[in-house]
A = this chain, B = another copy of it.
């Protein structure tokens, strides 16, 4: 079997293929088996129940020794304690540089496995098999990994590029509604920041998307991966600023997650609310017309992505944005749209503008 990749991601030290299709977990296992005769795969208990056994059984049919390591689902697993436990298991199993590590799961699994692969014996091969929409369109491409320490998310990590990314969009069928629509918010983001055609596709295909049609989703995921790959190629290590466009909706989004709680509020839903705030700021600055805001809001509704957020904590949210890592002189930077498919980085945004946009964004959905 010789697969043709859907796209190839280039980076400073080489490149890697991304394969996107539907209902081909067996094919993924086979393609993995052709690469290596021994692998260790990291997954969480939920994903394991759904796909882990099939994956392992198929690998073993192809004479691959597949060692499974599971972590509890959820953000709490992104700790140095869990990383240390994985190291101990790698040592006990005699995992060496010839072994490939596979991340089978969502963003949390990808982050942990990526970090462990980056730091075990100074780096072993990594294959990403993202199972959530967010991981498929975002975190599996670009080589970022990260774990948390008390007080700081993703502060410890490494850039470690995978050797392959395998994506099966039929896996999206098993996601909860919240998880799926959280991922969709990032898909909408790609349309706004870089690709008016993608935005239009989402507007016309929203019914198939809501039904999670694997073929339609494969088209969309492929397109998002290509967009992410293009951005990452220009700015692999977040040094040129090109990667900043990906933060559209994230300045307010991170503040919302921080105030209303990681885990209780999905990342993508915070980003959706953050995109609406940014859109209303752009409107007030005369960067976009009113129909931009309406079109974005309507698409989010069509895709069943919540865009409102709890009220009455605007000052708290503002304080967090002013202390954002990317703030300059105590005033936050925002990625603001000028039209569907184009955004710009704007420095030193005035607090009143942010407060006004937040008020509108909470009022508009009372």
Q: Which residues of A contact B (CB under 8 A)?
A: 12-13, 80, 84, 87-88, 91, 96, 115, 118-123, 144-146, 149-152, 155-159, 237-238, 325
Q: Which of B12, B88, B149 contacts A84 (CB 8 A)?
A: B149
- Residue on B with the closest CB to A95? B155
* Residues of chain B lying within 8 A (CB to CB) of residue A84: 80, 149
What are 6 A-to-B residue pairs whose CB atoms are below 8 Å?
Answer: A13-B13, A88-B150, A91-B152, A120-B156, A122-B158, A122-B159
A272: min CB distance to chain B, Å: 26
Q: Decide if B91 touches A155 in the complex (CB within 8 Å).
A: yes
Q: Which of B151, B156, B238 contacts A119 (CB 8 A)?
A: B156
Copies of this chain held together in the complex: 2
Report the bound CA distance from A81 to B253 in whole Å.
33
* Residues of chain B lying within 8 A (CB to CB) of residue A96: 325
Q: Decide if A156 touches B87 in the complex (CB within 8 Å).
A: yes
Q: Decide if A123 touches B12 in the complex (CB within 8 Å).
A: no
* Residues of chain B lying within 8 A (CB to CB) of residue A149: 84, 87-88, 91
> Given A13-B12, A88-B149, A96-B325, A157–B80 Cβ distance below 8 Å?
no
Report the bound CA distance from A144 to B119 in whole Å.
11
Nearest first, the 9 closest Cβ-Cβ pairs linking A and B are A122-B157, A12-B13, A122-B159, A119-B156, A91-B152, A87-B149, A119-B158, A122-B158, A80-B84
Pick the most buried of A84, A151, A158: most chain B CB atoms within 10 A of its CB. A158
* Residues of chain B lying within 8 A (CB to CB) of residue A123: 158-159, 237
A212: min CB distance to chain B, Å: 33
A318: min CB distance to chain B, Å: 21
* Residues of chain B lying within 8 A (CB to CB) of residue A119: 115, 119, 156-158
- Residue on B with the closest CB to A90? B155
